[in-house]
Amino acid sequence: MTKPIFLVGEARGSNEDRIKSSFVGASGVELLRMLSDAGVMSLSDSDWAWLRAYYAKGDPKYVEEIWKAHPEFYRTNVFNLHPPGDRLENFCGDRREAIPGYPKLGTIGWIHHEYAGELDRLGDEIIAHDPNLIVALGNTPIWALTGRTGVSKLRGTTCLSSHCVSDYKLLCCYHPAAVIRQYELRPVTVIDLHKAIRENEFPEIRRPSVSIWVEPTLTDIERFIHEHIQGCPLLSADIETAGTRVTGLSLAPRRDLVLVIPFDDPRQPDRCYWRTAEDERRAWEMVRGVLEDPTIPKLFQNGLYDIAFNWRAYGVRTFAAAEDTMLLSHALQPESLKGLGFLGSVYAGDHGAWKTQRKDNETIKRDS
């Protein structure tokens, strides 16, 4: 039998404090509806009757009855307390009095050490229930369980807990209160919650297997083009840039196979990957042969930028540019972000939040 999905929010609101439970107010109602829309929860006729009663009377006990009928979920908060004025800032204090080992909670502040017991309680709850999956709803549970913040960058991805309790799988999502404030966040939150169905079946993180050729020689590039690119049905191409230079170019004939051709190398005194100008010229000639081959259909992310940059900086043209993920996704969902980090989190399987894995983000395009 699959273990219950462990839902963690921020803190109790007035409704939650009234009956000493979690997600039984407006945020809980929105979470129920999103779980239903995501196919993670099936609401019965009785559930909808309780929901209508809540709408009519505003009593959190009706929402609690819905949750009781669904033992496949366990609900709690980082702080099972009601912050005065519904403001978590009232749990904050001077940095010198913060909980040891924890950073600042985003823009909210440094959580005062007197609330460290709530983190201990959360860790004990997790260990007692030993879930396969913890759904971290918002910045506060991400902070409590990983020592990080930035839900907009981490949402839709899985990671392992490192604070409070270690090595439990987290699925990061927006808090339903944020969805209520910014309803444009709802579609992507429903998509993210849908991932809980699969991720709750096993406790470990399973990343897709990808073969990446890095630091290639000229012979490696020639071999990759001959064995994998020539005749492929669709080739994904992407560049990274700095100033007027292409610092790296990637070619992927399949979703599980990538060639990365570097041109800049910060480890070298001259920052060049290729040891001679002739070697770099030969590398670009092979790239030119691929990009200018009209028999190879090509896929880009914001290809208008890549194609124009290659032509302007190196005189390399691009033929058979067939698809563009940014343009297509923007046509389908114009209200959503269209950057590669966002699209990867939605469509590319659970590769993790790779946009946050570089310390030097000089050549990484900002999500938008």
| Domain parsing of the chain, residue ranges | 5-199, 211-356
Same fold, 5-199 and 211-356: no
Phi, psi (degrees; rounded to nearest 5) at 62 = -70, -40
Write the pLDDT tens digit of every residue in 4-24: 999 999 999 999 999 999 999
The half-sphere exposure of 137 on its side-chain side, counting CA atoms within 13 A, is 31
**Residue 354 DSSP label:** G
Mean pLDDT of 242-264: 96
Any idea how long the chain is?
368
Please state, in angstroms and rounded to a whole number, the distance separating the CA atoms of residues 146 and 153.
14
Compute and round to an integer the Cα radius of gyration of the chain. 24
Please state, in angstroms and rounded to a whole number, the distance separating the CA atoms of residues 28 and 34.
10
Question: Is-contact 92 112, C-beta < 8 A?
Answer: yes
CATH 3.30.420.10 fits 211-356, yes or no: yes
Which pLDDT score, from 0 to 100, does residue 364 have? Answer: 46
Q: Is it the case that residue 362 has pLDDT exceeding 50? A: no
Residue where the block lists tokens 């799988």: 169
Please state, in angstroms and rounded to a whole number, the distance separating the CA atoms of residues 105 and 95.
11
- Tell me how crowded residue 194 is: count the other CB atoms within 10 A of its CB: 16
Mean pLDDT of 325-352: 83
- Tell me how crowded residue 351 is: count the other CB atoms within 10 A of its CB: 13
SS3 label, residue 111: strand
Distance of CA 174 to the CA centre of its chain: 10
Q: Is it the case that residue 25 has pLDDT exceeding 80? A: yes
**In DSSP terms, which residues pair with 9 in a beta bridge?**
77
Write the pLDDT tens digit of every residue in 39-63: 999 999 999 999 999 999 999 999 9
pTM over 0.75: yes
Mean pLDDT of 92-109: 93
CATH of 5-199, one of 3.40.470.10, 3.30.160.270, 3.40.190.10, 3.40.50.620: 3.40.470.10
Mean pLDDT of 229-246: 96
